């Protein structure tokens, strides 16, 4: 009798498994949380030290245009403007293409065609960014020079390279959004006598709008954070771009250019950390934007 009681009162094997499983997942979560917090802490302390220790004003950092940290000039406006410039331009060019391709894949293409395009898109994602940069340097920059004059380096060349890089991101997320539109929407629309085009335009795209916007924001986040490929075609001149083909520099390209030549703890190094902090904040903003779109944009 006691034996049975004992067995019943002790945790069973399954319960122990349960506990162990929970422990492992808590451990992993804890580890990741610590990692994220330490990264945030590290970048924040380094990034802010320029303002506290070197007496640089935040407004100078954000709105002045002279970047020469060796001489205490840390106006980051050119980089901020250029970063947003290439990002918006790339997203602007890429979105129509992405929507068209995604529509083709979900609404028109026979199964085999859709699968083929899927492979192509996955391939585009898999190409390392340095290769995009090299192609940009060898093909896009000379093309821009011939077409628009100047050196060819600049926002336009950056945007063209980024366009190819964000296209697969936006396309595949748009495909997901279109696939998520319930098929009875389509059926109902067609039953009411709408043509295919009317169905796509008025029903499917409308229902998928939040998903498509999310796709665009994700694409922009990728473009904003891309460093290597952009650095190779943007020209890296820390000055406000006069036009789309004048050399400029992005936040990321300035970071990768400068970090090896600066010494920890000095102003030039801290200034780069401030750029990094700015990038981090922007990544956060993009994330919040995605959440907002997902919540507000749903069809009612």
Partner 1 sequence: MKKTLTLVGAMLALLLLITGCGKSKNQDTKMTIVGSTALQPLVEQASSQYSEKNSNISITVQGGGSGTGLSQVQSGAVVVGDSDVFAEQASGIKASELTDHQVAVVGIVPVVNPKSGIKNLSMKQLEGIFTGKITNWKQVGGKNEKIIVINRAQGSGTRLTFEQQVLGNKTAVKSQEQDSNGTVQQIVGSTPGAISYVSFSYVNNKIQPLSIDNVKPTAKNVATNAWKIWSYEHMYTQKKVSDKAADFIKYIQSESVQDGLVKQLGYISIHDMQVSKDENNQVTDK
Instruction: Name the minimum Å distance from CB 44 to partner 1.
Output: 21
Instruction: Name the minimum Å distance from CB 74 to partner 1.
Output: 12
Instruction: Name the minimum Å distance from CB 276 to partner 1.
Output: 16
Nearer to partner 1, 38 or 261 (CB): 261
Nearer to partner 1, 55 or 110 (CB): 55
Contact present, 248 and 241 (Cβ < 8 Å): yes
Q: What is the C-alpha to C-alpha distance for residues 125 and 129, in angstroms, rounded to an integer?
A: 9
- In this structure, the number of other CB atoms found within 10 A of the CB of residue 256 comes to 15
Exposure b/e, 175-194, CB count within 10 A at least 16 = b: bbbbeebeeebbeebeeeeb
Contact present, 258 and 268 (Cβ < 8 Å): yes
Q: Both tokens of residue 226?
A: 């891309």
Nearer to partner 1, 114 or 137 (CB): 137
Strand partners, 68: 73
Instruction: Name the minimum Å distance from CB 262 to partner 1.
Output: 5
Can you give the binding site for partner 1, defined by CB under 8 A? 17, 20, 24, 68-71, 137, 141-142, 145, 151-153, 231-232, 235-239, 247, 249, 256-266, 268-269
Q: What is the C-alpha to C-alpha distance for residues 165 and 86, in angstroms, rounded to an integer?
A: 12
Instruction: Name the minimum Å distance from CB 64 to partner 1.
Output: 13
By CB atoms closer than 10 A (0-12, 13-18, 19+), residue 162 is buried
Nearer to partner 1, 209 or 262 (CB): 262
Nearer to partner 1, 45 or 266 (CB): 266
Instruction: Name the minimum Å distance from CB 270 to partner 1.
Output: 10
Contact present, 101 and 113 (Cβ < 8 Å): no
Q: State residue 145 phi and psi, 5-degree precision.
A: -65, -45
Nearer to partner 1, 27 or 123 (CB): 27
């Amino acid at each position: 009798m006691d034996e049975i009681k004992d067995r019943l009162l002790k945790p069973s094997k399954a319960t122990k498994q349960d506990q162990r499983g929970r422990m492992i997942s808590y451990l992993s979560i804890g580890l990741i949380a610590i990692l994220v917090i330490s990264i945030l802490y590290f970048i924040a302390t380094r990034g802010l030290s320029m303002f506290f220790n070197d007496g640089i004003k935040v407004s100078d950092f954000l709105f002045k245009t002279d970047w020469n940290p060796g001489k205490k000039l840390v106006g980051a406006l050119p980089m901020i403007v250029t970063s947003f410039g290439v990002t918006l331009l790339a997203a602007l060019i890429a979105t129509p293409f992405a929507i068209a391709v995604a529509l083709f894949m979900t609404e028109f293409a026979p199964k085999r065609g859709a699968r083929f395009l899927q492979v192509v898109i996955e391939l585009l994602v898999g190409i390392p960014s340095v290769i995009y940069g090299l192609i940009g340097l060898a093909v896009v920059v000379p093309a821009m020079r011939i077409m628009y004059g100047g050196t060819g380096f600049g926002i336009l060349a950056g945007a063209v390279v980024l366009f190819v890089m964000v296209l697969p991101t936006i396309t595949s997320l748009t495909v997901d959004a279109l696939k998520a539109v319930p098929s009875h929407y389509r059926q109902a629309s067609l039953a009411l006598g709408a043509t295919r085009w009317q169905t796509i335009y008025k029903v499917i795209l409308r229902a998928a709008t939040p998903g498509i916007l999310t796709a665009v924001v994700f694409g922009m986040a990728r473009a904003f954070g891309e460093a290597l490929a952009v650095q190779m075609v943007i020209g890296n001149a820390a000055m406000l771009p006069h036009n789309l083909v004048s050399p400029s520099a992005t936040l990321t390209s300035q970071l990768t250019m400068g970090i090896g030549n600066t010494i920890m703890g000095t102003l030039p190094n801290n200034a780069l950390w401030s750029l990094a902090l700015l990038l981090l904040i922007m990544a956060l903003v993009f994330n919040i934007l995605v959440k907002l779109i997902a919540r507000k944009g749903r069809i009612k």
